[in-house]
A and B are shown apart, each in its own frame.
Chain A
Amino acid sequence: MSDITKQSLSQLVENIKSKKLSSSEVTKAFVERSEKSKELNTYITEDYANALNKAKKFDEKPNLDLKLPGIPMAVKDLFCTKDIRTTAGSKILNNFIPTYESTVTQNIWNEGAILMGKLNCDEFAMGSSNETSFFGNVQNPINKNLVPGGSSGGSSSAVAAQLTPITIGTDTGGSIRQPASFTGTVGLKPTYGSCSRYGIVAFASSLDQAGPMAQNVKDCALLQEVISTYDEKDSTSIDFKRNEYSKELTKKIKGKKIGIPKEYRVDGMPKEIEDLWKKGIEYAKDCGAEIIDISLPHTNYALPTYYIVAPAEASSNLARYDGVKYGFRAEGENLIDMYEKTRSEGFGAEVQRRIMIGTYVLSSGYYDAYYLKAQKVRKLIKNDFDQAYKKVDAILTPSTPSSAFKIGEKTNDPVSMYLNDIFTVPVNLAGLPGISIPAGHDAKGYPLGLQIIGKAFDEQNILNIAYAMEEKINFKNNITDWWIK
């Protein structure tokens, strides 16, 4: 079956359950395609032989009651995987092999899925183009020399290029939704506390959240249902009633109130984005939703707030990479010298920049002016959403202020790079769920995404809205397999 890799997750699950396909056949197809796609540089670590073995074992004694029976899957290299190297895209963890498994990936394996390998990402998830990875750029399958977005760039590229039927990423300021938007795929950032952070290499603890990345909304819902569990090992995990999102998925969204925040019409926003948004509003109306203009007055402050809170937490979270216990170590004259050399050589420029920003904003004398003030603004941003949700059920915005850009285009301009996250960052600051769905193309033919933001723990609602809109939009990704010789 040559078209195995073109099938959606839901189709593959169905075909395996009905024994039309074996796990081995499916796994082999994705492994073969992955092997032909090295030019995309999506994988940091491949585990194909093990994957094929596991598939064979699965087929010998298939448990077809599972939600992901024998489904092969590559995951972002930020999730610790037992006995498989986990690098977080960094030289400092180049040789690190965990003895433990993250809760999210464990949930996936428990439902019968099989690990194919670890996907490229920005170093410690810090980046919007996958260009900060120690393991090199990732190509966007949409076009050569186009970034796949970031930080989950390996994940978005792999899903769009059909190297894995589905994957997981992490999203601290947009790292699932922005790459999904850049690659014409679907990405969900769940409510903070929905998916356990246990075993995920931390970037900014109060913002980090794992989520599914898929080719369509239904697949996304299915994976969300698998990965979202309450976990005592994560003190910020929240024990709430989780839906069977894929089973409860419906396109009936008639009467749903969808808010359009005026503050998201940012200065200099390309007309294409403006038009996409307008189109999105029409699609939503077509689905029977009611459109309501709303205001999120502190939106302007979200990006600066994010670039204080996230680096502050990161500067502390990354202190453990000191060359003492595991990972890369540079030799030094003494302890301090060893620290300095290890961290100078082990971390890339963007990570060092954020550690410095974070250290600065937490320093005595600056703490009140930066970190404390940012925390106050963060509360105001959350209040904005709380107010808005008194009037609406969900909020519709563009996912990104532009389509995918060229590799190298913004590497020397960090602020312009940071601006990529302008529409996604407020969602993380408020701890809300947000989903990006592909909704159109720009003049160059590159995909553009729309973001639907929900109330806390209301993943079902935004999945439903996305599901309904997806049908109306009827987006087709234009992948030419240009990288396959």
Chain B
Amino acid sequence: MSKNKSEYLINRHDNQYEVVIGLEVHAQVTSESKLFSTSATKFGAEPNTQVSLVDAAFPGMLPVINEYCVKQAIKTGIGLKAKINKRSVFDRKNYFYADLPQGYQISQFKDPIVGEGKVILDMPDGQKEVGIERLHLEQDAGKSIHDLDPKNTFVDLNRSGVALMEIVSKPDLRSPDEVNAYIKKLRSIMRYLGTCDGNMQEGSLRADVNVSVRKKGSKEFGTRCEIKNVNSIKFMQMAIEYEANRQVDLIEDGQTIDQETRLFDTKKNETRSMRSKEDAHDYRYFPDPDLLPLVVSDDFIENLKSEIPELPDEKKKRFIEKFKLSPYEANILVSDIETSNYFENVIKKSDVKLATNWIIGELFAALNEKNLEITESPISAGNLSKLINLIKDGTISGKIAKTVFEQMMEGDKDPQKIVEEKGLKQESDPKALETLIDKVIDDNRDKATEYKSGKVKLFGFFVGQVMKVSGGKANPQLVNEILKKKL
């Protein structure tokens, strides 16, 4: 598709097109209660059981800002290295829909709580900086359920009023892979901060994707289309690919692109026009007169700064500098807060290099096979640490360790106990090994003679025999040494 390995270009005839992508990510704020009411926010509750009079917009009900959600938004802003606006304003975005009880969504339009920031992506050919335009707080709508009844639509207001952060990127993304990396990085930062659980299946993270194309080298942006409410990275990538190609085809065909809102049909893998610019809603934004401007002090922000944990970029740097990990290894280990916590727990009492290899290698493979998250790992960090120490001090060989590891995966057993119970301890007593080796040489006199006459390849045969007779427990290094002497 393109000359440069990392460059994503669409070729048509003699033309090469670059794809320009900007994302509006909607991230649900991790909070026990909603943005302007005290209702609970648990996912999967019975319909309409987490709805207050405020959420259902009863007459005379008034919104009261949830300070915790404000803190979460500011923390996220700090994590995005963004400017925190000490004064922000809540506006009403007016439109009618059955699952929007107030007839307006409280959002932030002109004065968001967080201004410009940035996110660093680790791409195969190096780092890339993606600009953040803004982050604002807003209410989620309820849910309309159209498929429970042929005539009626059901409305569930549990989600109505839940706090969302809308994080708007600059149009800095250039490929589906960058979108993938961006979403993952954003998710990672918010999970480190504890401000959004990033659960895309539960809708905690969704995005509107703005796509345009332009001839390579052009400075002007093309006309963009907005693809609404895409809820998985895979679908985002598919939608971008489809949409970019659709736009290129139109241009190549001499047609113009209409600025419009489109929907991604996941079954047909295509985007479809939802409404044109002319039909776009006039949301009649104006400052919500029920709420005063939100003003936060320097102290308030400084206090939150002091609560910010080490974030992935800083952690990665530390892992590389302090533990001599490769950038690749460090990236993998910091990508998720749970993984990095696990890693740091394991290396508290064991060798870093071995721990890195075992976590990235055996553990990830085993978890993957069982479809488990690191938090669900049957092997605790403490026990993996013990296993690594057993290898390090020569109690067991790497090979035996794999057997022990498999048994640990069945349930979080102490590796020391497994080794003892199953008698898997490595035989490292030279005398015992000599006896063993003498017997093997005795039993294979003819081969020993051949070896001595120059058939050195037979050395491997003897090692194998010794290991077999020892039940795999003989210390391979010592076996080599003694065999060399004896033969």
Q: Is A186 an interface residue (CB 8 A)?
A: no
B284–A322 touching, CB < 8 Å: no
Q: Is A312 an interface residue (CB 8 A)?
A: yes
Assess A233 versus B103: contact at CB under 8 Å? Given A324-B98, A325-B56: no
- Chain B residues, Cβ within 8 Å of A339: 96
Q: Is A326 an interface residue (CB 8 A)?
A: yes
A235–B289 touching, CB < 8 Å: no
Q: Is A362 an interface residue (CB 8 A)?
A: yes
Other A-B pairs, 14, CB within 8 Å; known A201-B59, A316-B286: A79-B60, A98-B58, A98-B60, A234-B64, A235-B62, A236-B292, A316-B103, A316-B284, A319-B94, A319-B104, A322-B103, A362-B284, A362-B286, A371-B286
- Chain B residues, Cβ within 8 Å of A99: 53
Q: Is B290 an interface residue (CB 8 A)?
A: yes
Bound CA span A200–B289, Å: 15
A363–B63 touching, CB < 8 Å: no
B282–A325 touching, CB < 8 Å: no
A235, A318, A339 pick with most chain B CB within 10 angstroms: A235
Bound CA span A371–B62, Å: 22
Partner of B290, one of A199, A232, A236, A335: A236
Q: Is A197 an interface residue (CB 8 A)?
A: yes
Partner of A324, one of B61, B92, B94, B155: B155
Partner of B59, one of A320, A324, A335: A320
Bound CA span A93–B59, Å: 9
Q: Is B250 an interface residue (CB 8 A)?
A: no
A102–B60 touching, CB < 8 Å: yes
Assess A233 versus B94: contact at CB under 8 Å? Given A205-B289, A320-B103: no
A367–B286 touching, CB < 8 Å: yes
- Find residues 264-318 in chain B having any chain A CB closer than 8 Å to their own CB: 282, 284-286, 289-292
B59–A202 touching, CB < 8 Å: yes
Bound CA span A352–B66, Å: 34
- Find residues 373-409 in chain B having any chain A CB closer than 8 Å to their own CB: none
B64–A204 touching, CB < 8 Å: no
Assess A96 versus B59: contact at CB under 8 Å? Given A233-B64, A320-B102: yes
Per-residue CB proximity of A351-393 to B under 8 Å, as 1/0?
A: 0000000010011100100010000000000000000000000
Q: Is B57 an interface residue (CB 8 A)?
A: yes
Q: Is A86 an interface residue (CB 8 A)?
A: yes
B62–A234 touching, CB < 8 Å: yes
B282–A233 touching, CB < 8 Å: no
Partner of B63, one of A201, A235, A315: A235
A320–B101 touching, CB < 8 Å: yes
- Chain B residues, Cβ within 8 Å of A371: 286
Bound CA span A400–B212, Å: 60
Bound CA span A202–B63, Å: 13
Q: Is A198 an interface residue (CB 8 A)?
A: yes
Bound CA span A359–B96, Å: 13
- Find residues 313-339 in chain A having any chain B CB closer than 8 Å to their own CB: 313, 315-316, 318-320, 322, 324-326, 335, 339
Bound CA span A79–B61, Å: 11
For residue A87, which residue of chain B has the nearest CB? B59
Q: Is B65 an interface residue (CB 8 A)?
A: yes
Assess A320 versus B57: contact at CB under 8 Å? Given A233-B62, A235-B62, A362-B284: yes
Bound CA span A200–B60, Å: 5
Q: Is A213 an interface residue (CB 8 A)?
A: no
Interface residue SS majority, chain A? loop
Q: Is B256 an interface residue (CB 8 A)?
A: no
B65, B102, B284, B291 pick with most chain A CB within 10 angstroms: B284
B286–A80 touching, CB < 8 Å: no
Assess A359 versus B284: contact at CB under 8 Å? Given A96-B59, A98-B58, A198-B62: yes
Q: Is B153 an interface residue (CB 8 A)?
A: yes
For residue B144, which residue of chain A has the nearest CB? A335
Assess A232 versus B64: contact at CB under 8 Å? Given A320-B57, A322-B96, A362-B94: yes
Q: Is A100 an interface residue (CB 8 A)?
A: yes
- Chain B residues, Cβ within 8 Å of A146: none
- Chain A residues, Cβ within 8 Å of B289: 204-206, 236, 313
- Chain B residues, Cβ within 8 Å of A200: 60
Bound CA span A223–B286, Å: 35
Q: Is A88 an interface residue (CB 8 A)?
A: yes
Bound CA span A205–B61, Å: 11
Bound CA span A315–B57, Å: 15
Q: In whole Å, how far is A298's beta carbon from the nearest beta carbon of chain B?
A: 21
A80–B59 touching, CB < 8 Å: yes
- Chain A residues, Cβ within 8 Å of B60: 79-80, 98, 102, 197-202
Per-residue CB proximity of B46-58 to A under 8 Å, as 1/0?
A: 0000000100111
B53–A335 touching, CB < 8 Å: no
B58–A235 touching, CB < 8 Å: no
Bound CA span A359–B284, Å: 8
Query: What are 11 residue pairs bridging A and B, where the CB atoms are less than 8 Å apart in the complex?
Result: A86-B59, A201-B59, A201-B60, A234-B62, A235-B65, A236-B292, A319-B96, A319-B102, A339-B96, A362-B94, A362-B284
Q: In whole Å, how far is A382's beta carbon from the nearest beta carbon of chain B?
A: 15
- Chain A residues, Cβ within 8 Å of B98: 322, 324, 335
Q: In whole Å, how far is B240's beta carbon from the nearest beta carbon of chain A?
A: 29
- Find residues 188-218 in chain A having any chain B CB closer than 8 Å to their own CB: 197-202, 204-206
Bound CA span A202–B92, Å: 15
Assess A235 versus B290: contact at CB under 8 Å? Given A197-B60, A319-B94, A326-B58: yes
Bound CA span A99–B104, Å: 23
- Find residues 58-114 in chain B having any chain A CB closer than 8 Å to their own CB: 58-65, 92, 94, 96-98, 101-104
Partner of B53, one of A79, A100, A197, A234: A100
- Chain A residues, Cβ within 8 Å of B62: 197-198, 233-235
- Chain B residues, Cβ within 8 Å of A335: 97-98, 153
- Chain A residues, Cβ within 8 Å of B53: 99-100
- Chain A residues, Cβ within 8 Å of B291: 235-236
For residue B36, which residue of chain A has the nearest CB? A235
A197, A206, A236, A319 pick with most chain B CB within 10 angstroms: A319
Q: In whole Å, how far is B77's beta carbon from the nearest beta carbon of chain A?
A: 22
Q: In whole Å, how far is A204's beta carbon from the nearest beta carbon of chain B?
A: 7
For residue A335, which residue of chain B has the nearest CB? B98
For residue A202, which residue of chain B has the nearest CB? B60
For residue B94, which residue of chain A has the nearest CB? A316
Q: In whole Å, how far is A145's beta carbon from the nearest beta carbon of chain B?
A: 32
Per-residue CB proximity of A172-200 to B under 8 Å, as 1/0?
A: 00000000000000000000000001111
- Chain B residues, Cβ within 8 Å of A318: 103
Q: In whole Å, how far is A241's beta carbon from the nearest beta carbon of chain B?
A: 20
B284–A363 touching, CB < 8 Å: yes
Bound CA span A199–B63, Å: 12
